[in-house]
């Protein structure tokens, strides 16, 4: 059994960045988030948290890799659609629709575990299903707006990070040699 030293970071912890690099990335992130909130408000897309959920997933799990953006969005929209189906069935008292939604969620979980149809059924799907089936969200959320906020997140964050990676390609793929912190 492998033990973890109290001095070593837990698995999945991002690499240590030089403080100036971390500060620049933080400022850029704040500007991108503020821009997203402003655009969401201008377009009357209220559940901007759905776009932030996409941003968190894509940047944390997908490491901001542009190739991981489409599966993150499609998986997230799939999870939101399954949640919307369950919400609609519950609101209408439609037991077959509820059972259909739950059945499709089980199938989606199976496909994630089996590694099949990864564009549609992936960790983002399960994240969105988990978050959007919280009772408070299930009762009152407009899932069409959630899907709109997710797509807006795709466009805004995807374009911004793609443009930023053109100006700093070494940071899009990791740290540059001169920024690396010795082990």
- 66-102 exposure pattern, b = at least 16 Cβ within 10 A, e = fewer: eebbebbbbbbbbbbbbbbbbbebeeeeeeebbeebe
pLDDT, residue 42, reads: 94
pLDDT, residue 62, reads: 87
User: Quick one: 28 exposed, middle or buried, by C-beta within 10 A (0-12, 13-18, 19+)?
Assistant: middle
pLDDT, residue 169, reads: 54
| 76 domain-assigned | yes
| 12 domain-assigned | no
| 13 domain-assigned | no
Q: Which residues of the chain fall short of a pLDDT of 70?
A: 1-6, 12, 136-138, 169-183
| 30 domain-assigned | yes
pLDDT, residue 79, reads: 95
pLDDT, residue 59, reads: 87
pLDDT, residue 125, reads: 96
The domain of 109 spans 19-169
| 153 domain-assigned | yes
| 7 domain-assigned | no
Q: Dump pLDDT digits (tens) for 108-151.
A: 999 999 999 999 999 999 999 999 888 766 677 788 888 889 89
pLDDT, residue 172, reads: 44
Domains: count for the chain: 1
| 103 domain-assigned | yes
| 6 domain-assigned | no
């Amino acid at each position: 059994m492998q033990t973890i030293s109290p001095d070593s970071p837990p698995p999945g912890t991002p690499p240590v960045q030089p403080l100036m690099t971390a500060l620049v990335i933080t400022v850029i992130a704040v500007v991108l988030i503020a821009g997203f909130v402003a655009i969401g408000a201008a377009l009357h897309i209220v559940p901007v948290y759905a776009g932030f959920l996409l941003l968190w997933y894509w940047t944390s799990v997908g490491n901001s890799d542009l190739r991981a953006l489409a599966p993150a969005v499609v998986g997230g929209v799939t999870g939101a659609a399954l949640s919307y189906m369950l919400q609609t069935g519950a609101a209408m008292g439609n037991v077959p629709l509820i059972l259909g939604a739950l059945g499709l969620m089980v199938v989606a979980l199976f496909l994630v575990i089996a590694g099949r149809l990864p564009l549609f059924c992936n960790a983002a799907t399960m994240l969105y299903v988990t978050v959007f089936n919280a009772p408070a969200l299930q009762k009152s959320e407009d899932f069409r707006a959630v899907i709109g906020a997710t797509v807006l997140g795709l466009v805004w964050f995807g374009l911004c990070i793609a443009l930023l990676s053109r100006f700093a390609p070494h940071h899009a793929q990791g740290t540059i040699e001169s920024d690396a912190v010795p082990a």
